[in-house]
Structure 1
């Protein structure tokens, strides 16, 4: 079940203030270079990347389970040219094949059970065109995320600021649970989240179970090799095994 910062309309409206356009989006956009492509974005959220793909002439499908996020996505400048689908990545099905399938914004980590991860990879495998590419990222479990995440930030919006505070409540070798408070001008909203942290070998094993393999794993958005001890990100480029 999506947590509040995906589900609540007020939080969906400000989602991109903290998760907007950056080097990660440029990385994913560049994967579609070299002509018009059929692109599937699983967990597309507010449609920021889908909108950019569509603006370049790609045939884009954006899938997300949260209606509030899709409402924001549909209102984007090129939103009318994207096929928006309200569905989970586990259950989404269409007869169409895609040249590029992406899952961005660390969406991979919201799938807490093996059954869900395998179902997502099965969706990707079923919809991947011949010679197609899958790309997604997840955070390196070796990094001290609690130390990085506890604290407050301020998000600028229309002449005022929204204070965002995050506190990690529980963490172990594979999971982190945290509370995020959004101090809006008229109210405070609280979101509770839990994320899964798998190692590179664990993810590669699950890919193999679904007939997929990692073609490359980067540790940075400029395509430096993944280093288990220092890289914050694990960026997977995946193809059919």
Structure 2
């Protein structure tokens, strides 16, 4: 189940303005270029920012997301006809053969159910051509990012074209083992509407994630830093082995 910030039409519509800095996507684009990827599957594509950036570069992209409102926003953007949009989780995908599978931002951590996570890795493996790459990021649990998730550190007012000022902030709700829950609040100055969006992320240890990948047949090529967040994230690059002859 997607969070309200992605499934509520009013929140999905303003998502790109609230998250306007997407410099985190640049390494994914560079990786696609370095690999010469011509076909990409973007799992948890959201409002389609990465999918459309890749499509602008002539890449054939399939974007899948369980949030209808986010997919609707993506479909309404210029150039969206160049992307194949699918509503659902990874298990809803038809047979594919791609060069690269991506899960950006919080996507991998938002898959908190172990069975759904296993299904996602299986589907990613099956969608990749032999030699194809899966790349995704997760926060390093040792950095305890949730300790900064409070109103004082996150409060801001964003001017949204056509919507006016929107106040937003995050508050930590609960830390239970590897699961961390938090709530975003949004206040619309135009009419005073208050909307909230609760989220839970799973903080996986590096060894746990590597073991999951190996268990699903991947070769782990690299675990690196996110360039814009050094020391905070694990970026996993895993490959489907070439078919043996």
TM-score under structure 2 length normalisation: 0.90
Quote the Cα distance in structure 1 between the aligned partners of 2:21 and 2:29. 11
Quote the Cα distance in structure 2 between the aligned partners of 1:210 and 1:223. 28
User: Is contact 2:42-2:101 (8 Å) kept?
Assistant: yes
Is 1:167 the counterpart of 2:171? The answer is yes
Is 1:237 the counterpart of 2:240? The answer is no
Structure 2 gaps, min length 5? none
* Matches for 1:193-208 after TM superposition, within 5 Å: 193-208=199-214
Structure 1 residue 18: deviation in Å?
3.3
Number of aligned residue pairs: 234
Structure 1 gaps, min length 5? 225-230
Structure 1 residue 215: deviation in Å?
0.8
Which structure features the higher share of helix residues? 2
**Runs of 4+ deviating beyond 6 Å:** none
Quote the Cα distance in structure 2 between the aligned partners of 1:164 and 1:38. 36
Q: Tell me what 2:157 maps to.
A: 154
Change (3 A) 1:23 1:74: same
Q: Tell me what 2:11 maps to.
A: 11
3-state SS in 1 of match to 2:52 = helix
Structure 1 residue 92: deviation in Å?
2.8
3-state SS in 1 of match to 2:177 = coil
3-state SS in 2 of match to 1:135 = strand
User: Is contact 2:129-2:240 (8 Å) kept?
Assistant: no
User: Is contact 1:21-1:48 (8 Å) kept?
Assistant: no
User: Is contact 1:136-1:235 (8 Å) kept?
Assistant: yes
TM-score under structure 1 length normalisation: 0.91
Structure 1 residue 67: deviation in Å?
0.8
